[in-house]
Amino acid sequence: MKKSYSILLILIFIQASVFAQLPPIFDASDEMRASHSEMVKTYLTPNRIVWQSDDTGTYIKNEKTLLDKGNGQVAVNDQNLFQLISTDDHKPGIMLDYGKEIHGGVKISMGIRPAKTPLKLRVRFGESVSEAMSDIGGEFNATNEHSLRDFIVEVPWLGSVEIGETGFRFIRIDVVEAGENAPIKSVEAAFVYRDLEYLGSFESSNERLNDIWMTGAYTVHLNMQNYLWDGIKRDRLVWVGDMHPEVMTINTVFGKNSIVPKSLDLARDQHPLPQWMNTISSYSMWWLIIHKNWYDYHGDLAYLKEQETYMIALLDQLSTFIDEDNKEILNGGRFLDWPTSTDPKAVHAGLQAMMIMTFEAGSDMMETLERSDLKKKYQKIAKQLKKHQPEGNTSKQAASLMVLADIAKAEQTNTEVLKKDGVQNMSTFYGYYILEAMAKADDYQGAIDVISEYWGGMLDLGATSFWEDFNLAEGKMSGRIDELPVEAKSDIHTDFGAFCYVGLRHSLAHGWASGPTSWLTQYVLGVNVSDGGNTVTIKPHLGDLEYVNGTFPTKFGVLKISHTKAANGKVTTKIDAPKGLNVKQ
């Protein structure tokens, strides 16, 4: 059984060579904390040079020194520093790889040179090599929206400057002016994150699944900044619907964390009724469903009671958007996810299912709040909504919600819709609900295969965090994000995308894509939480796995579980439960 993960272990897991250099910052000593008390900052040395404009030694010298871990302090007697030498004909540039996606900026330090004027450098951040090589705008749609990733900065003589706040893995720097001879001591990534222990863990006989679980966990961790964001480069906002998979991952990996109620409360306060959250009706419904899940896992009755007035008003508002045929007629933004946004039949089918799920969740929460009258009222509305059967939907996303809302047969839908054409027509957001529906159809091995092929397809292209969108067919014809593009292959980051994520605007660290982390813990490790976090029922589904070990954070402490499958298929389970937790098998 593995011990609980710290952030250090997850970072080592994805790119060990980068993080071997880390100081012991994970004790979060006061002097190393960022201005926000919940955040820490550390400085990372690049682990490789991806590209440089000159390799003759004429314009770039001593470039390998950038890969050496330094002390972060310039000195008057620094020798053999990295040098950038510019002329009218050549203004040198270099691209550095920090080994994994991170959130933060860069600290550039310069030594002594004859001219004491600041050195002008162009700095470009990239989630991919292509993005770090790109210009703003153009056919590939690179942007400075949400966070600056391409700008000019001045570096002081015998000093340092720290700039940037975005999501990136690669940095390219170029000299802007001719006639410069600049000795650079270091180009360090300033990594900003929450100092959290990975209380949940997942280890199986399939390393690919282990990598996927950890990558999903890390993707959400990156987005746990001042609030729970959806992306660290773009969509640095509290998108409530997008939060749902993220919250389920937080429940699985970090347990009860204050960023969830903080973000839920922000969304509530920013959108007083009758506004829909983020202007999207389904996102207001996701807010209610998240609260139901949050209570199920943590049992915080006091916090649930704080929401009572708004919840009741929101549920009552939703109830006015049902016609005489029990059909939802929601206004505002009618949205599930981007791939279904142009399909009205899919959107209606998904919204109808979500209305059912929302009123069922509302009924359950009213029971917890001892409002028996409202429990019955919302339960009755949910039953009435089930009388309407959406027609003409063929999307996997909406079909999965219909299964979860019990208005479509799980096994039939799984065969006829969810498994049709393999992992084509998936989405990284609603992929989570497709997996949930496959589990309801008892197709656990099929869901494991989907996880391995679809989310694993991003890892095959060099991903260290999961993406806003992904099409496996496009991925198979593309090069990796950590390599320079080649003519024989498409570029997964520049050549594809739609809606808000065309080309380089596409986010490569989007928390809504973390669904497999929660799913693997719940259905493969078998951890099912109920009764306000007081009870855990263990129901593992190993499929073709030989063993699964893991930990899970509960309100009583960390639960440890191991499953081993014998040659005859029999699974032996060992459980080490914290005192006070009711465990069922």
Amino acid at 376: K
DSSP 6-61: EHHHHHHHHHHHHHTT--SGGG--GGGB-SSTTEEEEEE--SEEEEES--SSSSEE
Q: What percent of the chain has pLDDT over 70?
A: 94
Mean pLDDT, to the nearest integer, of 98-111?
A: 97
- The predicted pLDDT at position 10 comes to 45
Helix (H) or strand (E) holding 534: none
Position 340 confidence tier, pLDDT thresholds 50, 70, 90: very high
Instruction: Label residue 24 by pLDDT band (50, 70, 90).
Output: very low
Residues of the chain with CATH 1.50.10.10: 197-529
Cα 459–chain centre separation = 14
Lowest mean pLDDT among 28-37, 162-171, 412-421: 28-37
Q: Report the top-level CATH class of 197-529.
A: mainly alpha
**Looking at the predicted structure, is the pLDDT value of residue 1 above 50?**
no
Backbone phi, psi, residue 424, to 5°: -70, 155
CA dihedral over 401, 244, 319, 304, signed as positive or negative: positive
**Residue whose structure tokens are 């272990």:** 9
Mean pLDDT of 212-233: 97
The upper half-sphere exposure of residue 555, i.e. CA atoms within 13 Å in the direction of its Cβ, equals 19
Tokens of 402: 């219909």
Distances from the Cα of 169 to the Cαs of 97, 103, 428, 463, 521, in angstroms? 6, 9, 21, 10, 28
Element containing residue 388 per DSSP (H, E): none
CA distances from 426 to 321, 340, 396, 513, 578 (A): 29, 10, 7, 11, 38
* Predicted local distance difference test score (pLDDT) of residue 70: 87
pLDDT at 15: 40
Cβ pair 355, 285 in contact under 8 A: yes
Q: What is the DSSP letter of 143?
A: -
How many angstroms separate the CA atoms of 388 and 349, rounded? 10
Task: Find all residues with CB under 8 Å of 338, minimum gap 6, and list them.
Answer: 427, 469, 498, 499, 500, 501
Per-residue pLDDT reduced to its tens digit, 536-583: 999 999 999 999 999 999 999 999 999 999 999 999 999 999 999 999
The tokens describing 537, both together, are 């029922």
Task: Say yes or no to pLDDT of 433 above 50.
Answer: yes
Write the pLDDT tens digit of every residue in 292-332. Answer: 999 999 999 999 999 999 999 999 999 999 999 999 999 99
Give the C-alpha separation, 384 to 382, whole Å: 5
Count the neighbouring beta carbons within 10 Å of the beta carbon of residue 39: 18
Is residue 16's pLDDT more than 90?
Answer: no
Instruction: Report how far residue 400's alpha carbon sits from residue 414's, in angstroms, rounded to the nearest whole number.
Output: 8
Q: Rounded mean pLDDT of 434-454?
A: 98
Average pLDDT of 255-274?
A: 98
Sequence-separated contacts (24+) of 13-17 with Cβ below 8 Å: 13/211, 13/214, 14/99, 14/100, 14/214, 14/215, 14/218, 14/464, 15/47, 15/99, 15/100, 15/464, 17/47, 17/99
For 5-194, which CATH class?
mainly beta
Range list for CATH 2.60.120.260 in the chain: 5-194
Q: What is the pTM of this model?
A: 0.94
Examine the pLDDT at 5 and tell me if it is beyond 50.
no
Q: Please give the pLDDT value at position 458.
A: 98
Per residue in 360-402, pLDDT (tens digit) is 999 999 999 999 999 999 999 999 999 999 998 899 999 999 9
CA 132 – CA 123 distance, rounded (Å): 9
Q: Which two tokens stand for residue 11?
A: 């970072």
Secondary structure string (H, E, C) spanning 248-299: HHHHHHCCCCCHHHHHHHHHHHHCCCCCCHHHEHHHHHHHHHHHHHHHHHHC
Residue 6 has pLDDT above 90, yes or no: no
**542 closest CA partner among 456, 445, 454:** 445
Q: Percentage of the chain surpassing pLDDT 90?
A: 91
pLDDT in tens, 35-89: 345 899 999 999 999 999 999 999 999 999 999 998 889 999 999 999 999 999 9
User: Does residue 416 register a pLDDT over 80?
Assistant: yes
pLDDT mean over 94-116: 96
Mean pLDDT for all residues in the chain: 93
For residue 567, give every residue at least 6 positions away whose Cβ sits within 8 Å of its Cβ, in sequence order, or none: none
Above 60 in pLDDT, residue 250? Answer: yes
